[in-house]
Structure 1
């Protein structure tokens, strides 16, 4: 059974240059919303997440709210395994699909077909699995013969379409999103929206950050509001 368990999760980032420490404390507190402090060895750190605890089980649709710098993206990246806890613990079970950076792992000198394999490996799938999915991914991307060419000649829209097609090809237990994705032109966007809805509905657990309350209200049954890396509210609703 898929689940996520966070217990006292805290994440700190060190600041290597500790000159003008008071200025950096002020700047980072204003710009990032995080907490800046010093360790006993006078290493300056910024606490992006502070004592975050929650449980998610199948059926949970969690919306993360908060201003820029509140810790939403850091929490999503921690759930995706990008950041390790500085203290506390974070445990999950189930296949995770992260839609935080859908082109991560691509090689601009590799062809589109080769990047299907590379991006798939980044997502934790086997080369054999990605080979099996390649025809479906190619068809969804609508890139045709461009898939035989190096990705460096792709437009940004073409690259995102390929990344989206790869990232959404395999159903997942847990889906992580930083805003609802807008991909491609009007026709492709409709197809992408349908794919996202299908993927999020089939997932056991969804965690999405958004600045648009309407998206959260339509999709989620729980919201956590973050401020300066701390949970300030945790609400459940139907």
Structure 2
């Protein structure tokens, strides 16, 4: 039995959506393409997918958020625009069936029939996308561009995944930190996706944390009583 196969396009190496992913997520995206090809229309459980990718459930959840933010997969982990970029004529089983049907047709008396041409390859967009009239899979689209505003709040699920990847505790994302971030980017009239806004917030908070660690308290002179001496000038090098 021949191994199933699927079409892989060279623009994978230059597609910004793919190349902005980490190497781990790029590999996991390729694995999802392989699983889609091998299992056809069967929807795998997340536990099965995590096992096939040899990662934990938490890592799978973070990868899902990253790939959905780039518009590469759907909620059920199926690749976006799979049917658009693969062709019915690629299936060896269907090709064999069509060949047998043509042989049977050849031995029959000729008749006036309309022949449907086989699927042919056409130019497709570099970036996979859903058809314009396709129904949304959910009310939340992490890739939709949004303008920053003063009441903006990060999506909790995306924030948890990105913060974990960056090694930052969620406690650092205080209302004050989020508010300062929103004020700054509202003034800049930033137009980004929800995922991009959250990624920028994570970088903002991480940078502040790094700067805070570098602050060195100023050494002063203490009075005999142990209280801080406001008149101390030792820091001047005297």
Could you tell me the TM-score, scaled by structure 1's length? 0.25
More helix by share: 2
More strand by share: 1
